[in-house]
Chains A and B, each alone.
Chain A
Amino acid sequence: MEVWQKVFLKDADFVQSTHGKVGCVICHGGDSRAEDKDISHVGLVADPSEANCNTCHQDIAHVNETSIHTTLSGFKSVLEARGGNLEEGSPLATAFENHCQSCHTSCGQCHVSRPDELGGGLVSSHEFRQTPSTQYNCVACHGARVGAEYLGENEGIPGDIHWTLATMTCTDCHGQELHGSGQRMAIRYQNPDSIKCDDCHEDIWTDVTSNPQHEQHLGDLSCQVCHSLAYKNCYGCHVSIDEEGIPCRTSAPSEMHFEIGHNPLRSSERPFEYVVLRHVPSCLGTCDYYGDDLLPDFNELPTWKYATPHNIQLHTPQNESCNSCHGNEDIFLTEDDVSEDEKEANSEVIVKDVPTPQ
């Protein structure tokens, strides 16, 4: 997107909207009476979300203050669980500021413009879109894994059936949960409003007789175990600062795998014994540039994480027959699939005894 495009108002309809009638300077500052560009932009606030939205949208803005999109508590909770010290001024806090903080999003970066991480730019003139754009907002950030899966961009793997058959967009499933729950969460799956398959597919619980596999496995297996395909796994992320002082990162090539393992987040909401696991980019030495042993309890959490791949299909290789899974070591996360230095971290999720053939 060219610089001029980012601030171009294709049509002036916005002026007549509720937000348009408020005026530019009220939110963005600057001096609308100055004719000189530089003078008129003195004190300009490009993204005024945090100071202004809550004036009218108090309820949502208040809840959103706790959302993972706002607080990045998902990152922080993992780093802290691994023994990381995120106190201001600590080496890990500096690393966080340089490499993680940019994933923060604001009201405007979902509802008005593209996220800053992607260089910003108005999505549709200055229209406030109640529903963020799948392409310019959601997938702009969540594109490498979930977005590519959902849209079928991984070679040889079809897109999610909810997209290919019904053209459902992200917000057709993910609604208010994106604003958080009003309470700080360590992970997004803790949000009670987090969408679950059976929120729509209620009949899987009541119509088990027509599907013997459901009758056998409901509650023991997450839906994705039977209904998703291979998905992207990332490894070996290392962050640092380059010679010009710009934050940079490197990671090993990603790999497409499908791995069933034990559920690391077992709860009444997610009681499954087996779930699909995805390898996260981080590794033992991710932050080594900033200091030694910054994550002293690295093994407290698995690097193969509870996952909900977005490439759902009705029919998959693993639900063809009982023995597509039973006795098939290839689709389970076993000792051989885990690198030596991560075996301890993943000991709880590694499948030691693959279910026997039927």
Chain B
Amino acid sequence: MKRLAFILIGLLAVLLLLATGCTAPALPAPGEEVGTCVICHSDKDLLKETASPVEEEISEETSGEG
């Protein structure tokens, strides 16, 4: 009897969580999110404005051909 009660309580808890939307947000379906990325990455001015400078790690002591 006790075991049955535990199972019922557990099931109720799960149902409650589902009903209140307490689940992981669904990932966008393949392809759905393309637009968002492409909007920024095809905007030349925006990219120029927001680009973070990357310091290239080339030693000044390097010389000759590799």
Contact = CB atoms under 8 A, between A and B. Distances in A.
- The answer to whether A and B come from one shared complex is yes
B23 interface: no
A246 B32 CA distance: 42
Given A3-B51, A246-B57, A251 B38 contact: no
A251 B27 contact: no
A8 B57 contact: no
Interface in A6-46: 7-12, 15, 20-26, 30, 32-33, 37, 40
Interface of B is mostly: loop
Contacts of B20: none
Nearest to A243: B61
Contact of B31 (A10, A21, A248, A250): A21
Nearest to B57: A246
Among the interface residues B33, B42, B65, which one has the most CB atoms of the partner chain A within 10 A?
Answer: B65
A66 B65 CA distance: 27
Contacts of B32: 23
Given A25-B27, A32-B36, A4 B62 contact: no
Interface string A228-267: 0000101011001010101111111110000000000000
A21 B60 CA distance: 44
Given A3-B51, A33-B33, A12 B38 contact: yes
Contacts, number: 104
B63 A32 contact: no
A32 B47 contact: no
A interface residue count range (under 10 / 10 to 19 / 20 to 34 / 35 or more): 35 or more
B56 to A, nearest CB: 6
B3 interface: no
A22 to B, nearest CB: 6
B4 interface: no
Contacts of A24: 33-34, 37-38
Given A4-B44, A8-B42, A244-B59, A32 B28 contact: yes
Interface of B: 27-38, 40-42, 44, 47-48, 50-54, 56-66
30 contacts: A2-B48, A3-B53, A4-B47, A8-B42, A8-B47, A9-B42, A11-B42, A12-B38, A20-B31, A20-B34, A21-B30, A21-B34, A23-B31, A23-B32, A24-B37, A32-B28, A32-B34, A119-B56, A145-B65, A232-B65, A240-B61, A242-B59, A246-B57, A246-B58, A246-B59, A250-B63, A250-B64, A251-B64, A252-B64, A281-B64
